[in-house]
Structure 1
Amino acid sequence: MASGGRAARLAPVVEMAEKTEKAAAQRLGHFQGQVNLANSKLGDLENFRGEYQAQWVERGSQGVTGQWLRNYQYFLGQLETAVGQQRQSLQWHENNLNKARESWQQAYARVEGLRKLVQRYADEARQLEDKREQKLMDELSQRLPRKEVY
């Protein structure tokens, strides 16, 4: 019975570890969503920049004014800055994702370890109970009068 008690006493610890693991998994999902969003925004900016540069090639072949060229270069510079900032944002979100993944992996490993421990305690308790029952059955069978066979 002592081993079964150990398993039962661990139940609140396991429950708390499971809640921690679930919260870590939710954070992991949140940060994965943030990475996906940042990556999408970066792709959009890079596509827009590519289209804008293609527009330059098309327009440039027709001849441009100095003012148009200055405006183009200014806007392209702003796009480059935006792309750089979005890359930094993506990296920041990826770092958060990696930390969240590590946190979840640790929480998951803890839950799994606790579950195995509880299972081991339950198995030990069952084995002790089986031994007790077997001993009781042996004692009872020894006390019963035996019929002699002639």
Structure 2
Amino acid sequence: MASSTAERLQPVIEMAERAEREAARKLGQGQVLLTQAEDKLGELERYYRDYQQQWLSRGSSGVSGQWLMNYQRFLAQMEVAVTQQQRSVAWHQDNLDKLRRQWQQRNARLDGLRKLVERYLRQARVAADRHEQKVLDEFCQRLAGRRPGTE
């Protein structure tokens, strides 16, 4: 009985394995996207700092009013880009956390199902061992009853 229950659970385990693999794939993909967003943020921040350095070196030698206005406009655009990318990184981090929780849930479910099947298989082995022992005991009793001289 327990062995057949374990066999009937096999399709459920296969579905759980597919769900766990899919969650792991999405988790890996989420990690890649987060890394890309962090890299892009780093590039923007470096570019922003480099541009500020240009201001310091160029500003010390004197600049035109037009250059100053263009610089301020560009710097404002860079700040917006950095802020947007920071939000993107935060979103990807939150998404990665969600994907990690989903994978952990699916992995825990799969582990639970595997343990359940193992328990059913163990119960089936114990039942089979008991049955085998009972058959052997009955066989030994019959043999003992047939011994010559005991009749």
Query: In 2 relative to 1, CA 147–47 (structure 1 residues): closer, same or farther, beyond 3 Å?
Result: farther
* Aligned residue in 2 for 1:37: 36
TM superposition score normalised by structure 1: 0.94
Which whole-Å CA distance do the structure 1 matches of 2:148 and 2:61 have between them?
118
* Aligned residue in 2 for 1:105: 104
1:67 correspondence with 2:66: yes
Which whole-Å CA distance do the structure 1 matches of 2:18 and 2:40 have between them?
33
* Aligned residue in 2 for 1:23: 22
Which whole-Å CA distance do the structure 1 matches of 2:125 and 2:95 have between them?
45
TM superposition shift of 1:147: 6.2
* Aligned residue in 1 for 2:88: 89
TM superposition shift of 1:142: 0.8
TM superposition shift of 1:66: 1.3
1:47 correspondence with 2:37: no
Aligned residue pairs, count: 147
Which whole-Å CA distance do the structure 2 matches of 1:146 and 1:38 have between them?
86
Which whole-Å CA distance do the structure 2 matches of 1:146 and 1:83 have between them?
96
1:132 correspondence with 2:131: yes
What is the one-letter code of the residue matched to 1:50? Answer: R
Q: Deviations over 1:37-64 (max 9, x none)?
A: 0000000000000110011111111111
* Aligned residue in 2 for 1:80: 79
TM superposition shift of 1:146: 3.6
* Aligned residue in 2 for 1:122: 121
Q: Deviations over 1:52-104 (max 9, x none)?
A: 00111111111111111111111110100000111111111112111111111
What is the one-letter code of the residue matched to 2:107? Answer: Y
Which whole-Å CA distance do the structure 2 matches of 1:135 and 1:87 have between them?
71
Moved over 4 A (4+): none
Q: Deviations over 1:102-141 (max 9, x none)?
A: 1111000000000000000000000100010011011101
What is the one-letter code of the residue matched to 1:33? Answer: V
Structure 1: gaps of 5 or more residues: none
What is the one-letter code of the residue matched to 1:14? Answer: I
CA RMSD of aligned residues (A): 1.1
TM superposition score normalised by structure 2: 0.94
Which whole-Å CA distance do the structure 2 matches of 1:147 and 1:7 have between them?
47
What is the one-letter code of the residue matched to 2:140? Answer: S
What is the one-letter code of the residue matched to 2:110? Answer: V
